[in-house]
Amino acid sequence: MFKSICAIAAGSLLLASATVQAASDKGTIVIKFAHVVADSTPKGQGALLFKKLTEERLGDKVKVEIYPNSTLYGDANELEALSNNEVQLLAPSLAKFEKYTKQLQVFDLPFLFDDLAAVNRFQKRAKGRQLLRSMEDHNIVGLAYWHNGMKQLSATKALRVPSDAAGLKFRIQPSTVLEAQFNSLGATPLVLPFADVFDALKSGKVQGAENPWSNIYSKQLHSVQPFITETNHGVLDYMLVSNPRFWYAIPHQIRMQLEGIIDEVTFEVNRQAEAANQADRERIAAAAGTQVIALNDEQRNAWRNAMQPVWQQFEGVIGADVMKAAQTVNRNKSN
Ligand code: SIN
């Protein structure tokens, strides 16, 4: 009896180790890619395209698992999970890296970039590319910039001039630049994770927010925000990041293929983001119960004048060189 129990136990042990052996012989690299938005957004589509191209070209060498809508990790814990290698790819919005580098705060400065094309030029130039490497001391390597779009202000009341925002509470991402931006309007900023925005707006915990059209539409934020002002006052873009200990341990040949795929996906995401946001803008404008408010030049200048003093406040921490480089990319000033 004892002999047969021992034989069964030894057999199970052998089977278990054979399975582990087989799994490691197979050597499939698993890349978990977590993000906080819907599949239909520019980032969501980029993640899905990365999975598709990787699995088509690398077969069972690499498996990509996508976790959208904060289903695996959210704003509160995703960067920590990356550093612990519990997730291998993320694409947080640039505002969410403030803890790791102050330089990326340049992207949060209001009215710094005229449009997404200007943002694109900055990201492609030397200074923008340098920022991809600005968090390596914190075990974060930037692989690419992905666009979402320009941000719009939404609220429970019509925002036509800056003083309309005074006294309202706005949800913000964890960024001291965005905090200062809303303070400059006499409004109260409140940091909340993206996953909580809809409920916070619906319950009245906050009365306003700033988002690109795609995030507003995919989360149906317009159903709880009767007024959206087309301010285009800032940008919401992403950095695709990994943990360098994981990324540089991928066998060279495979990593080169993955980086090639990332370049292709980046091109597609960035080519389609503007159109995707415009399509969502049209859907929102057509929806009952939400008014899209367009600003004339004079009104938009009033918002710019109210928010722009924030630049000076942050020049010391962001760096004059970074800010200067960013200011050269607008159409009327670019080469
Ligand atoms: C995202 O687009 O990833 C979310 C941005 C936000 O937190 O507002």
237-290 pLDDT, tens digit each: 999 999 999 999 999 999 999 999 999 999 999 999 999 999 999 999 999 999
Residue from 33, 35, 37 to probe ligand 1 pocket by mutation (most atoms less than 8 Å from CB): 37
- Chain centroid, CA 199 distance in Å: 20
For residues 184-202, give the mean pLDDT: 98
pTM of the model: 0.91
Query: Do 241 and 215 contact (CB within 8 A), yes or no?
Result: no
Q: Where are the domains of the chain?
A: 2-97+137-148+237-268, 152-235+279-331
**CA 209, chain centre distance (Å):** 16
Average pLDDT over residues 16-39: 68
Specify the residue with its C-alpha closest to ligand 1, atom 6: 194
Q: Can 2-97+137-148+237-268 and 152-235+279-331 be said to share one CATH topology?
A: yes
Q: Is 93 within 8 Å of 236 (Cβ atoms)?
A: yes
Q: How far is CA 233 from CA 60, 126, 166, 303, in A?
A: 44, 24, 17, 8
232 lines ligand 1 (CB under 6 A): no
pLDDT of residue 22: 29
Are residues 104 and 134 in contact, defined by beta-carbon separation less than 8 angstroms? yes
Rg from Cα positions in the chain:
23
Distance of CA 37 from the midpoint of ligand 1 (Å)? 7
Please name the residues in contact with 279: beta carbons below 8 A apart, sequence gap of 6 or more: none
Does 215 contact ligand 1 (Cβ within 6 A)? yes
Residue 172 to residues 96, 194, 266, 318: CA-CA distances in angstroms? Answer: 11, 9, 26, 19
Q: Could you give the CA distance from residue 300 to residue 231 in angstroms, rounded to a whole number?
A: 7
CA of 171, closest atom in ligand 1? 8
What is the best residue among 33, 173, 190, 210 to mutate for testing ligand 1's pocket, by most ligand atoms within 8 Å of CB? Answer: 173
Whole-number pLDDT of residue 332: 61
Q: What size, in residues, is the chain? A: 335
Asked whether 54 lines ligand 1 (CB < 6 A), one says: no
Which residue type does 253 have?
A: Q
Compute the distance from residue 76 Cα to the ligand 1 centre, in Å.
12
Q: Using CA atoms, how far apart are residues 331 and 248, in angstroms rounded to an integer?
A: 38
Identify the band that residue 90 occupies on the pLDDT scale cut at 50, 70 and 90: very high
Q: What is the CATH number of domain 152-235+279-331?
A: 3.40.190.170
CA of residue 35 to ligand 1 center, whole Å:
9
Confidence of residue 15 (pLDDT cuts 50, 70, 90): very low
Strand stretches in 160-267, DSSP E = 169-172, 188-191, 208-211, 227-230, 235-242
Q: Whose CA is nearest to atom 7 of ligand 1?
A: 194
Share of the chain above pLDDT 70, in %: 91
CATH number of the domain located at residue range(s) 2-97+137-148+237-268 in this protein: 3.40.190.170
CA-CA distance, 330 to 69, in Å (whole number)?
33
Query: Whole-angstrom Cα distance, residue 138 to residue 104?
Result: 14
